[in-house]
Amino acid sequence: MRKEIKRTVAVCMALITAAGSVTALAMTMGSGDEIDRRIEEVGKAYLDFYRNGQDEEYDMNFTSAAKSSGVNYLAAPMMDEEVSYEYEAAESYEVTSPAANFFIDASPMNTEEYGSVHESGFVSPVSEPFSTFGADVDTASYSSLRRKLLEPAAYDEEDPYGSYYAGPDDSAIRIEEMMNYFDYHYEEPKDGERFGITTRLAKCPWNEDSLLLMVGIKAEESREKSNGSNVVLLVDTSGSMFGFDSLPLVKKALNILVKNLGENDCVSLVTYAGSEEVVFEGLTGADQDEIMSRINDLEAWGSTYGEGGIEKAYEIAEKYFIEGGNNRVVLCTDGDFNVGTSSQAGLEELISKKRDTGVFFSCLGVGSGNYSDVTMETLADKGNGNYFYLDSEREAQKALDEEFESTFFTVAKDVKFQVEFNPDEIKGYRLVGYENRKMAAEDFADDTKDGGEVGSGQTVTVLYEIIPSSSDFEMPSVTAKYGKKAEDETEPGEFEGELLTVSVRSKAPDSDTSDLQEKAVFAEDMEELSGDLSWAAGVVQAGMLMRDSEYAGTSSFDEIYNRLKEDDEVMDSDEKAEFLFMLRYMKKYCESRNADGIDF
């Protein structure tokens, strides 16, 4: 019966969103060569995840598209086998059963929540010589954007941005998270240092009046120094986790995670819906079969008492705390808390109080339609953890297997950046991204101020657009009356050619005192735009175009595609090939927005 139901809904959704082919998009970017074929192949593999999702055993006929249409899927688990559907002119259809009688409206309804992002503009180093912010290694914004772009294409490739689908929210596009999704080739840390620091400087590809500065750090490797892991899996099993891209995807992800744990690692599982429940506690990685069996038995049902689940998870994490080990709560949810503390202020206060326990708090987000990105970002940020959005099994494999050590083994906490610009050499500068991570200059050396966390071997990437003093770019000037240096305080020409100094502060995971690393950048460091810098620049350009940024300059999707497809790693990197595939849909989205005058 369930297979018949799934087929019925699949037919309805097919009528609502007409099917097409990826190749039907008339783009000017592909030439049909080997690279283009690889890009197409990798991209289609992602689309297949959503196409096949309708046939998942756990999906019981509610696709991601149906959820975003306003279906009352809290009632779905209550339905018995006697369910009938009445389709009405591709605009609505009715579901009835003895246990549930509710209406599905095919008009768009999207209750996803994102924190606001206000793009940074140029500032003068005369008035603001310091740029200070906390590190960010989260990548959720990138995979969430990928879902927003490619999930509609899986259902309607001819017109993925018709009236049925809303486009990405501007505030959902955090450019620093897009950059940090990719691996870069940075200097390894020297003996006694926590990070290797790399800087690269070239002409900006979207603004002939400016330069582009890349600052990259790479953390030391640390897993062999750990005494083991104490992981508490905290899983949302409420009704909102019913779809194939929610709880079923979480189960697959956690099975991947468990396979990376050993006999010295401790694992516990807490679930929450109407109330919290301890499924098991204190098992070891040697009990993998039992752990995975208990995970696979989870079912979605009821309301969402997230506060109780968080409290219980921390309680168990503290009970099995491993000194010198990796102690972490891993929350898996769509962020939709509706029982107990659910406000951003309340959740922030709850997690901040728990931060001093030494237990890190990481978030794995899933689902769509009612997804609360702002909740997940807040919890991970205040809990000294990291935040991932799982839009597919492949993303789960990347975050929990391929990057397992950097995801779960923190080597530095409260990581902060501060860049000081020389006003004699620099007319203006603009930090690209990190809008939600900015800090006061005085907070940099204040060890009571929270920064970001970085995992074993992990990299962090930062870009600045810089206006050199020789540029014709017009920058509003500022004249200072107070605080001028005496003429004999600095020797003439002492810092000539020195553009800026990069400073990085960080703490060991079990320390309250930070260490400082510094590196100066000089005009003579200029090079051609290539390699890591070219790739990061292309990702930033795409993000600016998607946000309709006033700073995008001469950027175009065609130029980005044609430049980045020459990257030596595209043929070997699924991530890079997939990004180039996404560019096609970014272009389609922006064309639809501009042509129709629709403010997505």
More confident residue, 118 or 442: 442
Residue-level pLDDT at 484: 58
pLDDT at residue 156 in the model = 79
Mean pLDDT throughout 371-388? 89
The token duo for 433 is 């991204």
Residue 60, pLDDT > 50, answer no
**pLDDT band for position 109 (cuts 50, 70, 90):** low
CA-atom Rg of the chain in angstroms: 25
Q: Per mean pLDDT, which range of 127-131, 198-202, 349-353, 419-423 is the poorest?
A: 349-353
Neighbour-count burial of 107, counting CB atoms closer than 10 A to its CB (0-12 exposed, 13-18 middle, 19+ buried): exposed
- Name the H helices within 300-456: 306-319, 344-354, 373-382, 393-397, 404-408
pLDDT in tens, 494-535: 788 899 999 999 999 889 999 999 999 999 999 999 999 999
Q: Could you tell me what percentage of the chain is helix, strand and coil, using 3-state DSSP and rounding each to the nearest 5?
A: 35, 20, 40
In angstroms, the CA 398 to CA 393 distance is 9
Q: What is the 3-state secondary structure (H, E, C) of 118-175?
A: CCCCCECCCCCCEEEEECCCCCHHHHHHHHHHHHHHHHCCCCCCCCCCCCCCHHHCCH
pLDDT, average across residues 209-221 = 96
Question: Where do the domains of the chain lie?
Answer: 223-408
Banded model confidence at residue 560, pLDDT cuts 50, 70, 90: very high
- The pLDDT confidence band at residue 489, using thresholds 50, 70 and 90, is low
Indicate whether 537 pLDDT > 80: yes
pLDDT of residue 7: 33
The closest of 88, 169, 576 to 374, measured between CA atoms, is: 169
**Which pLDDT tens digit goes with each residue over 263-318?**
999 999 999 987 889 999 999 989 999 999 999 999 988 776 777 889 999 999 99
What's the pLDDT tens digit per position in 419-449?
999 999 999 999 999 999 999 999 999 999 9
Round the average pLDDT of the chain to a whole number and report it.
82
**If you search the block for the tokens 């995008």, which residue do you land on?**
552
What's the CA angle centered on 44, arms 40 and 45, to 5 degrees?
A: 120
Q: Quote the pTM value.
A: 0.83
Name the pLDDT band for 191 (thresholds 50, 70, 90). Answer: confident
Tell me, what's the pLDDT at 152?
86
Give the model's confidence band at 493: pLDDT under 50 very low, under 70 low, under 90 confident, else very high.
Answer: low
CA distance 484 to 88: 75
Average pLDDT over residues 339-346: 61
Question: Domain 223-408 classified CATH 3.40.50.410?
Answer: yes
